[in-house]
A and B are shown apart, each in its own frame.
Chain A
Amino acid sequence: MGKGYPTIAFYPEKCNGCNDCVEACAQIKTETSEPVHSRISVAKDPDDEFYGLSLCRQCGDPRCVMDCPARALTKNEDTGVVHWDETKCVNCQICTLACPYAGITYNRITDQVMKCDLCNGDPACVKACAPMALEYKIGAEIYNTWGDLEDLFVPGVGACLGCNSELIMRHTLRRIGPNTVVATPPGCIPGVGSVGVNGITSTKTPVFHPLLTNTASMLAGVKRYYNRIGRDVTMLALAGDGGAADVGFQSLSGAAERGEQMIFVCVDNEGYMNTGVQRSSTTPYGAWTTTTPVGEALQGKTRDAKPLPLLMVLHSCEYVATAALPFMEDFYMKLDKAIEASKRGMAFIHIFSPCPTGWRFDPSQLIEVARKGVETNMVPLWEYENDLGRINITHVVNEPLPVVTYLKSIGKYRHLSDEQLVYIQRKTDERFELLKKFTKESKLEGLSDAA
C-alpha cells in the first residue's frame, strides 16, 4: 500500500506578503536573517495583490530526483522529504531546470543549490506565518490511516459511470467495518448490487433489503435483538432520499425520536434516480425531473427542498452531519463520530450526492460538481452533537461562489430564468442564515431562535 506524505500547503488568499516565513527560514537554516539563504520566498503581483510562493512541494514523483545525474537528490520513503545530499552534489544545476515551482534554487552566496527539508516535521516558516497562509499538512492522511482496510464492496458493480453512491458505499463500509448489519432499501444502492446480482450479494457484510417505508424500524429491531443477546453489532442504513425523506420518513422519525442505536446514512441524489428521475421532497427548487418537466406551464420544480438534516437536529439525534465526497477528511471525521454516537442513539449523516445520469452532467465532473455545491453554500458542511446542543460548520467557505457557478455546471438547471436564479441565490442565503442561528453557543437560545 502507498503512503501519504507531509507537505506545506499555501493559501495565497491569506498571504499578506509580510515575509516572516522568509526570515524564519533564513534564521533556522543559517542563523542570519538574510533572505538570500531562505528556502522559501514570496513573490508579489503588483496588480491584483496576489502572492506567489516558491517552495519545494516535496512532490510524489519529483522531477528533480529523476534528473539529478549524481543521485544527490532522493525521495525519502519514510518521511517523504526530497533530500539533497551536499556531499554528492556536483553543482550542475539541472535540478533547477527540472522544478517548475522554484522549489530548489541557486544561492549565489554559497554557490550551491538549496531546498526545503520540512525542518524535521516542524517547519519554522509555518510557525512564523501569522495569517496562517502556510499549513503543514499530511497529504492523503486518511489513506495512510484507512487505506489498508478491506473494501467491503466487490469490484465490478453495476453502477452508472461516475456514480457517487458507489464511492459512498465503499468508503462507509471500509470505515465502519465488517461487524455491521447493513440495510439498503430500494434505491440506487441495491440497484448497484448491494443486495445481490443473481442471488449473490456484492456486500461482504450481512445485508438486507427492507421496504422503502420500514428501514429504520427493521434496523431498530435487529439492534435490540443483538443488544439482548449481548453482542455489540453496528446497524447501518444506506438509504436514498426517497427512503429517508419521503416515504421512509415516518419510520426514521420514529426511530430518531426513540433514540434507536444506528447510523442512518441518507444518500441524497435529490430524486428517484434509479426509477427514471422523478422528483422527491429533496429535489431543489427549479430542478428538472421527469415529473417536474420544463415546458410552457412549468420550469422545473416549484417547491423548495425539505431540509431533512435540520429536521433530524430537531429530533435531538445524538449526532447529525452533512457530508460531500470532495471533502473526504471531513467525511471520515464524521463517520468516526457517527460510530461513537450510534452506541448511544441515532447518528444521521446526510450525504450530498450529485448524479451524472439523472442530473445531466459529464461523469468526469462528479467531484467538481459536488465541490461547487459546497463552495456556493448550497450544501454547507456541518455537524450537530447533541451533548453540545449546537451546530458546528466544519468547512467554512470564506468567499462563497455565486450559486450560478454551481447551477450552470448541471443539465437539470440549464433552463433556469434570471428570476429563478435570483430566487435560488436568495433562498440559499436565507437557509445559510438559518443554519448559522443553530451555531449559537447556548442550546436553548439557538433552537428557540430558529424554531
Chain B
Amino acid sequence: MPSAKYLIIGSSHAGLCALDAIRLQDTEGSVTLITRDESLPYSPTILPYVVSGDADPEKIFLRDQKAMDHLNVTFLKGETVTTVDTKAHSVRLSSGESLSYEKLLLATGATPVLPPVTGLEDEPHHVLRTLDDAMKLRTALENKHTALVVGAGLIGMHAAENLAKIGVDVTIVEALPHVLPDYFDEDGASLIQQAFSDKGIKMHLGCTMKQVARSNGAQLVTLNSGETISSDLVLVATGVRPSIDYLSEADIEVDQGILVDDRMRTSADGVWAAGDVVQAPGFFDSEKRLNGTLPDASEQGRIAGMDMVGDSALKPYKGGIGMNTYKFFGHRAFSIGLIKEANTGSDGREEDRVSAPDLEEDRVFSPASQRYQKLVFQDDRLVGALSINTDLDPGVMFEVIRRRIDLKDMKAQFVDHPQETGRILMTKVWR
C-alpha cells in the first residue's frame, strides 16, 4: 500500500494552507494531496465569476502542476476518499486503492443541501460549489432568459448579481425576511435589496419554495404564499453542510461537522481537520460551531499544518468569527463579528436583539447616500463592525476585534474616527 507521511484530503484553501505550513518546516517528508475534482486546485468563491465570464476558467487555479512538483507533492486529481480507517491509519479511494498515512488532514469542505421541496429531486436544477457545477450552469445559461435563485445567502447573492450582469432576468426567493441574514441586519440588508431591485432583480422575501414542476419547457415554481414563478432555470443556494459522508464508519467524533480543538485536532490520533468541514470553537464563546468562510478555512488550514509538522511558532486558534466582504453592483460592504446581536434598528426596533444586553452600538445610517456604519462594543472592546460604502478597513477592524484590544480612553476617538484610530493602533502593534 502506498504511504504518505502527510496525507491531505481536499485541495482548496484549507488543504493548500496546511500544505504550505508543512513544507515551511519539513521539505523532505512525503506529502500526498487528494481532490475529487478533475482539475487543479481552485476556490469555490471564484465560481460566480466563472459563471458570469469575469474569470477565465483556465486561469483560476490556485496552484499549477509545476508548483506541486516544486513542493515535491504527489497530487491526485479525480480521486474520492470513500472511507477512513483511523486504527490502520489508512484511507480508501474510489479507485479501490488504499493509502496509508502517518498524519492525516481532512479538508473536504462543504456540499450544498437541498431544501425539502416537492419535485426538486426530479427536476433539473443547479447548485454552485464545484467547477463542474459552474461550467454546467454557464452552459445551461446559453439561450436562457430567466433564472430563479433560491436562497439569499452569499452564494445566492453573488450568483444572482452575476447572472443579472449577463442579462438574465433574475428572481430571488429567501425564507427569512431580508437578504444575507448571516451578515447584515435589516438596515444593512435594506440598502443591498435596494441596489438589487434598482437593477431589476425581483425578490420574494420571507417566502419558501414549495413545489417545482415543468410546464411548457420552463420550470414552474410554487411558493408557500401560493404565488407561482416561471423560470428557465433554478439555482438552489439554500445552504451547505460539511462533506463528511466518508466518515460514517470512521472512529472520529462528528456533530454537524468534524469536531476539532484549537489546534484542529480531531478525536482520532494522527487526524486533523480544517475548513468548511469542521465545527470549531467560536471566538465569542467556546461552543463549537460551523463557520464556513474562506479566511477561516485558510487560518484553520495553516494551524493544522503547523501542528502536524510540530512548528513551535504555532499560536492556537482564537476561535471563529463570522465575517465577510461583500461587493455588489459597485458598492462595497463588509460585516465582522457580533453585528445583529445589538440591533436597535433605525426606528428603535429591537426584534433582532439576542441574549447580549451588555453590547453597545454606534450607528451612522444614511440610506439617501447608501451608507451605513455600525460599530458594536462590549465594555471597551470592539466586537462587531459593519460597513456599507464607508472608508473603514475591514482587515484593521477584524484585527482590533481579534486581538481584543482594550480601547480604554481611546474609545471615544475610535468611535469618532474609526479608520484613522484603527490604523494607528495597527502601526503600534506592528514590530
Residue ranges of A at the interface with B (Cβ–Cβ < 8 Å): 10, 12, 41, 43-47, 50-54, 57, 61, 63, 66-67, 69-71, 88, 90-94, 96-102, 105-106, 108, 111
Nearest CB in chain A: distance from B414 CB, A: 11
CB of A71 within 8 A of CB of B295, answer no
Residues 395 to 431 of chain B near chain A (Cβ within 8 Å): 395-396, 398-399, 413, 419-428, 430
Q: Is the CB of B424 within 8 A of A46?
A: no
Question: Could you tell me if A67 and B427 are in contact, using CB atoms closer than 8 angstroms?
Answer: no
* Residues 28-58 (chain B) with a chain A CB within 8 angstroms: 43-46, 49, 54-55
Q: Is the Cβ of B60 less than 8 Å from the Cβ of A105?
A: no
- Evaluate contact between A47 and B394: CB separation under 8 angstroms: no
Look across to chain B and name the residue whose beta carbon is closest to the beta carbon of A93.
Answer: B325
**Shortest Cβ distance from residue B130 to the other chain A in the assembled complex, whole angstroms:** 14
Confirm or deny: B393 has a beta carbon within 8 angstroms of a beta carbon on chain A.
yes
What 7 A-B pairs have minimum CB-CB distances, sorted nearest first?
A: A52-B424, A69-B43, A100-B399, A69-B45, A52-B427, A93-B325, A43-B420
> Chain B 100-132 against A: per-residue CB contact (8 Å), 1 yes, 0 no?
000000000000000000000000000000000
Bound form: Cα–Cα A131–B59 in Å: 44
> Which of these, B55, B59, B422, B424, contacts A50 with CB under 8 Å?
B424
- Which of B163-171, B219-227, B326-334 touches A? B326-334
Task: Judge whether B395 and A93 touch: CB under 8 Å.
Answer: no
CB contacts (< 8 Å) of B425 on chain A: these are 52
Is the beta-carbon distance between B46 and A69 smaller than 8 angstroms?
yes
Q: What residue of chain B has the Cβ atom nearest to residue A50's Cβ?
A: B424
Are B430 and A94 in contact, CB atoms less than 8 angstroms apart? no
Bound Cα distance from A345 to B62, whole angstroms: 59
Min CB distance A37 to B, Å, is 14
Provide the residues of chain A in CB contact with B330, threshold 8 Å.
111
Task: Tell me the minimal C-beta distance from B97 to chain A in angstroms.
Answer: 30
What residue in chain B is nearest A53 (Cβ atoms)? B427
Instruction: Known A66-B298, A96-B325; judge A50-B428 contact (CB<8 A).
Output: yes
Residue numbers of B with Cβ under 8 A of A are 13, 17, 20, 24, 43-46, 49, 54-55, 59-62, 294-295, 298, 302, 323-327, 330, 332, 334, 336, 393-396, 398-399, 413, 419-428, 430
Check B49–A97 contact: CB distance below 8 A.
no
Tell me which residues across on chain A come within 8 A of B428, comparing CB atoms. 50, 52
Interchain CB contact (< 8 A) of A54 among B61, B327, B336, B423: B423
Which of A46, A93, A102, A106: most chain B CB closer than 10 A?
Answer: A102
Q: Do A52 and B423 form a contact, CB below 8 Å, given A93-B394, A96-B395, A102-B395?
A: yes
Q: A70-B46, A98-B295 are in contact. List 8 more A-B contacts (CB 8 A).
A: A41-B423, A52-B424, A61-B24, A69-B46, A69-B294, A94-B45, A97-B325, A100-B396
Asked if A46 contacts B61 (CB within 8 A), the reply is: no
Least CB separation from A91: chain B residue = B327
A contact residues around B336 at 8 Å (CB): 97
Give bound CA distance, A98 to B298, whole Å: 10
Nearest-neighbour CB distance to chain A for B272, whole angstroms, equals 18
The 8 Å CB contact of B421, one of A45, A69, A88, A105, is A45
| B413:A46 contact, CB within 8 angstroms | yes
**27 A–B contacts from the bound complex (CB under 8 Å):** A43-B421, A43-B424, A45-B413, A45-B421, A52-B425, A52-B427, A53-B427, A67-B13, A67-B295, A67-B298, A69-B45, A70-B43, A88-B59, A93-B332, A93-B394, A94-B324, A94-B325, A96-B393, A97-B323, A97-B334, A97-B398, A99-B393, A100-B395, A101-B395, A102-B426, A105-B393, A111-B330
A43–B419 touching, CB < 8 Å: yes
Contact of B394 among A54, A91, A97, A101 (CB under 8 A): A97
Find A94's partner among B54, B294, B332 (CB 8 Å cutoff): B294
- In the complex, chain B residues whose CB is within 8 Å of the CB of A96: 325, 334, 393-395
Measured CB to CB, the closest approach of chain B to A436, in angstroms, equals: 30
Given that A66-B298, A88-B59, A97-B398 are contacting pairs, would A43 and B323 also be in contact in the complex, using a CB cutoff of 8 Å?
Answer: no
Give every chain B residue within 8 A of A97 (Cβ-Cβ).
295, 323-325, 334, 336, 394-395, 398
Q: Which of A53, A90, A96 counts the most chain B CB atoms within 10 A?
A: A90
Q: How far is the CA of A99 from the CA of B393 in the complex (A)?
A: 9
Select from chain B the residue with minimum beta-carbon distance to A99: B395
List, in ascending order, chain A residues with CB within 8 A of B394's CB.
93, 96-97
Please give the distance in Å from A61's CB to the nearest CB on chain B.
8
Q: Please state if A101 and B426 are interface contacts (CB–CB under 8 Å).
A: yes
A364 to B13, CA, bound (A): 34
Residues of B within 8 A of A101 (CB): 395-396, 423, 426-427, 430
C-alpha gap A61/B420 in the complex (Å): 25
* A43 contact set on B, CB distance < 8 A: 419-421, 423-424, 427
Q: Which residue of A has the minimal Cβ distance to B297?
A: A67
Residues of the B chain whose Cβ atoms lie less than 8 Å from the Cβ of A57: 430
Q: A53-B427, A97-B334, A102-B426 are in contact. Are A71 and B395 (CB under 8 A)?
A: no
Which of chain B's residues have a CB closer than 8 A to the CB of A51?
424, 427
Note all chain B residues with C-beta closer than 8 A to A92: 45, 325, 327
In the complex the two chains form, is A10's CB within 8 Å of B427's CB?
yes
Question: Given the complex of chains A and B, what is the CA–CA distance between A204 and B62 in angstroms?
Answer: 45
Residues of A within 8 A of B326 (CB): 93
Partner of B62, one of A12, A71, A108: A71
Q: Check if A93 sits within 8 Å of B334, measured CB to CB.
A: yes
Q: Is the CB of B60 within 8 A of A71?
A: yes
Tell me the complex Cα distance, A51–B428, Å.
9
The residue of chain B having its C-beta at the shortest distance from the C-beta of A106 within the complex is B332
Which interface residue of B55, B336, B427 has the most chain A CB atoms within 10 A?
A: B427
Chain B residue at minimum C-beta to C-beta distance from A10: B427
- Residues on B with beta carbons closer than 8 Å to the beta carbon of A90: 46, 49, 54-55
A94-B423 in contact given A88-B59, A101-B430 (Cβ < 8 Å): no
A45 to B61, CA, bound (A): 43
**Could you say which residues of chain B place their CB within 8 Å of the CB of A52?**
420, 423-428
- Residues on A with C-beta less than 8 A from B44 are 69
Chain B residues closer than 8 Å to A70, beta-carbon distance: 43, 46, 49, 55, 60
Q: Are B334 and A47 in contact (CB under 8 A)?
A: no
B259 to chain A, nearest CB (A): 24
Residues of B within 8 Å of A111, CB to CB, are 330
A91 to chain B, nearest CB (A): 6
**In the complex, chain B residues whose CB is within 8 Å of the CB of A41:** 423
CB distance from B368 to the nearest CB of A (A): 18
Please, which residues of chain B bring their CB within 8 A of the CB of A98?
295, 395
Question: Which of B302, B324, B426 lies at the interface centre, i.e. has the most chain A CB atoms within 10 A of its CB?
Answer: B426
State A70–B294 Cα separation when bound (angstroms).
12
Taking the closest CB of chain A, its distance from the CB of B157, in whole angstroms, is 12
- Tell me the bound Cα distance from A45 to B302 in angstroms: 35
Q: What are the residues of chain A within 8 A of B13 when measuring CB–CB?
A: 66-67, 69
Q: Which chain B residues lie closer than 8 Å to A99 at the CB level? A: 393, 395
Determine the chain B residues whose CB is within 8 A of the CB of A91 once the complex forms.
327
Check if B59 sits within 8 Å of A12, measured CB to CB: no
A36 to chain B, nearest CB (A): 10
B48 to chain A, nearest CB (A): 9
